[in-house]
């Protein structure tokens, strides 16, 4: 015999074991048919030949195989499809993040099915037309003011909505996206370590590999990554591989997201808010340094280098303003709509302020000149000047004398004995009280004939009040100046000033109107100014030429320009302008609305296309790596038949051996 008598049994036994293991793996596949991210597994089989055959002979010495050997269990994956899927999901992430912001902006500017700013502008036109027929009528002037107030309210609402969209987007990036990315990077590093240790001990760790691949796919949705595998040889000479995960920026620089002996170290990301509402994204790349090493010095700003992914889409929405950037950028984010809307508001307010004459002869603010002495419940002396019925606001160069000390009002940075003019009368009087308290002379009064009684001035609820620092008074009969003269508030208007007939003012005192700070001027709200019907002093009371100009201004064509500040190459502050639309107020707002609709539709089409390609790639991946019940059923029958055939072989060999032992060589017995 050229082979062992029982070698056939070994062959049959190995075949049965291989078929049994193959059925086990097939059952594992069927059991995980609905498991997300599960990769189809297969048994790796090779023909077993313990002794090589002589290639030059075919005689009795020719050797045959000794059965089948199980070399392991592996996953069925196509690396090319993995790369294609991750590249495509990054593109989907970009478009999806942009679309989320554009959908929120649509809720603000899309007025196709609701009444808002466009209708309010139309109503203003109607009320101005009625005022032109009733020039100098305070009743119709009030109606026009109410129409303007409706417009301002809509403007404020849209401004608040824009701020809310920006804030929610920043919060989502800060509290969700960045932590998720950092969590994924941490999980990948930990999985790399767990897989390494498991494989060194002889476990293929296929389920851990699935989990890691799922993390790769999820991370690829946030930023574009590349995954390559590096071989590591251990002491026994066995080779293992671990993934090197990298991020390649649009600047061509590659940043490591995993590092270390077997990928156990990982990168981290952070976000910073800026004062102008934009954000920056920073990355600390993975290194081969120990995990507890301080690597903060490696922090790199990658904001402008994000190529694809939801992080890029979100950053674009926050940081880019399209053609209103200098230089212009490739996406109209929240900033574009904030800037264009602010420009609309600025032009609107300046147009009507200019038409209403700007400045008219002015005789000064209306203020009472006397006050009353009293005693507080805490035994302090008080002197109160009631200014609740005061109207107007102070203008530059006007003066006020109190307690023998004169103070001048200024609209610039105040100097000695000067009071800053506030956005309204209340703000100015509050500033006055603070200046009086700081002045060593104005803060001292004569109480009950006793001079130099120190106190504090305050302004609240329409009352300018002095309160003594001494709280031991049992009665207060009189409060006078230190010269024992009655206290009087002597106000002098500046004869060179003119009364401001601006219909709109800013709530923060700035000179630039925005959607958030525009308001109806206090003087117009208090009925101390009105819409000027005509600037012609010789015109009669029915003249309405200025109102006609206002009415016409709503439909006049104008160039809307966005103004911005920048530093030139010499470091000097400069103002630049970007014309972005030519038309009237109705058309300008409609342009903002239409631009948003076009941007949303365009991005939605891009997102749909990317999703279609991603779906096709996923189908291709599933056709390779996914579990098919039909295929697994066929495999199950195949391995079951193989097992039966091997068992039949063993039975046949047993019968042959029985004949050899019991029925051979019995002749002549």
Per-residue pLDDT band at 104 (split at 50, 70, 90): very high
34-48, 186-200, 254-268, 363-377: which range is least confident on average?
363-377
Positive or negative, the CA dihedral 501, 506, 508, 512 is negative
Lowest mean pLDDT among 1-5, 267-271, 397-401: 1-5
- What is the mean pLDDT of the segment spanning 112-140? 88
* Angle of the 206-220 helix axis to the 178-200 helix axis, nearest 10: 160
- Say how far apart CA 116 and CA 124 lie, in whole Å: 12
- Confidence check: pLDDT of 493 > 60: yes
Contact 445, 403 (CB under 8 A): yes
Number of residues that this document lists for the chain: 669
Q: What is the DSSP letter of 54?
A: P
pLDDT, the chain, mean: 87
pTM, full prediction: 0.74
Quick: pLDDT tens for 494-534. Answer: 766 666 788 999 998 888 999 999 999 988 888 878 898 88
Q: Which of 1-10, 22-31, 594-603 has the highest mean pLDDT?
A: 594-603
Here the tokens at position 327 are 């230089």
Give the pLDDT of residue 338: 95
Q: What percent of the chain has pLDDT over 70?
A: 93
376 has pLDDT over 60: yes
pLDDT over 80 at 610, yes or no = yes
List pLDDT tens digits, range 621-635: 888 888 888 888 898
The number of C-alpha atoms within 13 Å of 140 and in the hemisphere containing its C-beta is: 19
Helices (H) and strands (E) counted in the chain, each on its own, are 13, 26
Instruction: Say whether pLDDT at 360 is over 60.
Output: no
Q: What is the pLDDT of residues 58-74, one digit of tens each?
A: 555 556 667 888 888 88
3-class SS at 152? helix
């Amino acid at each position: 015999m050229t082979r062992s008598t029982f070698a056939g049994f070994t062959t049959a036994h190995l075949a049965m074991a291989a078929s049994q293991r193959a059925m086990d793996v097939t059952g594992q596949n069927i059991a995980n048919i609905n498991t997300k991210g599960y990769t189809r597994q297969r048994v790796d089989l090779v023909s077993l030949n313990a002794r090589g055959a002589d290639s030059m002979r075919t005689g009795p010495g020719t050797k045959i195989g000794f059965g089948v050997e199980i070399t392991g269990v592996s996953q069925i994956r196509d690396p090319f499809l993995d790369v294609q899927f991750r590249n495509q999901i990054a593109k989907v992430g970009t478009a999806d993040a942009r679309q989320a912001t554009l959908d929120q902006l649509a809720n603000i500017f899309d007025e196709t099915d609701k009444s808002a700013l466009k209708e309010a502008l139309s109503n203003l036109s109607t009320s101005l037309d009625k005022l032109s027929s009733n020039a100098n009528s305070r009743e119709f002037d009030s109606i026009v003011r109410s129409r303007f107030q409706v417009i301002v309210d809509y403007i404020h609402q849209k401004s608040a909505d824009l701020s809310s969209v920006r804030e929610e987007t920043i919060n989502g990036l800060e509290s969700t996206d960045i932590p998720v990315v950092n969590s994924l990077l941490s999980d990948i590093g930990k999985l790399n370590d767990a897989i390494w240790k498991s494989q060194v001990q002889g476990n293929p760790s296929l389920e851990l590999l699935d989990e890691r691949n799922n993390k790769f796919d999820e991370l690829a949705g946030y930023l574009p990554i590349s995954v390559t595998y590096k071989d590591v040889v251990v002491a026994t000479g066995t080779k293992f591989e671990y993934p090197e995960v990298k991020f390649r920026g649009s600047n061509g620089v590659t940043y490591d997201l995993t590092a270390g002996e077997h990928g156990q170290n990982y990168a981290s990301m952070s976000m910073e808010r800026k004062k102008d509402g934009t954000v920056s994204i920073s990355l600390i790349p993975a290194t081969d340094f120990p995990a507890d090493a301080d690597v903060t010095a490696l922090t790199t700003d990658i904001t402008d280098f994000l190529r694809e992914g939801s992080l890029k889409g979100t950053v674009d929405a926050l940081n880019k303003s399209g053609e209103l950037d200098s230089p212009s950028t490739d996406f109209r984010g929240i900033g574009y709509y904030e800037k264009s809307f602010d420009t609309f508001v600025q032009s609107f307010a300046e147009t009507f302020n200019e038409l209403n004459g700007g400045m008219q002869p002015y005789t000064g603010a209306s203020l009472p000149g006397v006050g009353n002495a009293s005693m507080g419940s805490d035994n302090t002396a008080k002197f109160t000047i009631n200014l609740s019925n005061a109207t107007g606001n102070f203008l530059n160069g006007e003066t006020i004398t109190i307690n023998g000390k004169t103070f001048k009002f200024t609209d610039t940075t105040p100097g000695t004995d000067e009071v800053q003019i506030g956005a309204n009368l209340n703000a100015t009087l509050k500033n006055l009280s603070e200046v009086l308290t700081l002045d060593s002379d104005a803060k001292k009064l004569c109480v009950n004939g006793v001079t130099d009684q120190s106190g504090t001035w305050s302004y609240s609820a329409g009352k300018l009040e002095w309160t003594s620092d001494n709280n031991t008074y049992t009665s207060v009969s009189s409060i006078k100046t230190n010269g024992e003269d009655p206290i009087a508030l002597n106000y002098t208007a500046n004869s060179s000033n003119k009364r401001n007939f601006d219909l709109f003012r800013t709530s923060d005192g700035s000179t630039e109107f925005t959607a958030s700070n525009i308001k109806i001027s206090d003087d117009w709200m208090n009925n101390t100014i009105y819409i000027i019907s005509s600037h012609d002093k010789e015109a009669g009371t029915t003249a309405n030429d200025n109102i006609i100009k206002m009415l016409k201004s709503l439909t006049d064509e104008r160039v809307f320009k966005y103004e911005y500040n920048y530093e030139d190459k010499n470091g000097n502050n400069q103002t630049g302008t970007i014309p972005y639309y030519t038309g009237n107020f109705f058309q300008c707002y409609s342009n903002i609305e239409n631009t948003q609709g076009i941007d949303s539709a365009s991005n939605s089409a891009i997102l749909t296309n990317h999703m279609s390609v991603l779906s096709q790639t996923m189908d291709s991946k599933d056709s390779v790596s996914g579990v098919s019940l039909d295929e697994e059923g066929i495999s199950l029958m195949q391995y079951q038949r193989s097992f039966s055939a091997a068992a039949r072989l063993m039975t046949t060999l047993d019968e042959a051996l029985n004949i050899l032992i019991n029925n051979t060589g019995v002749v002549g017995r």
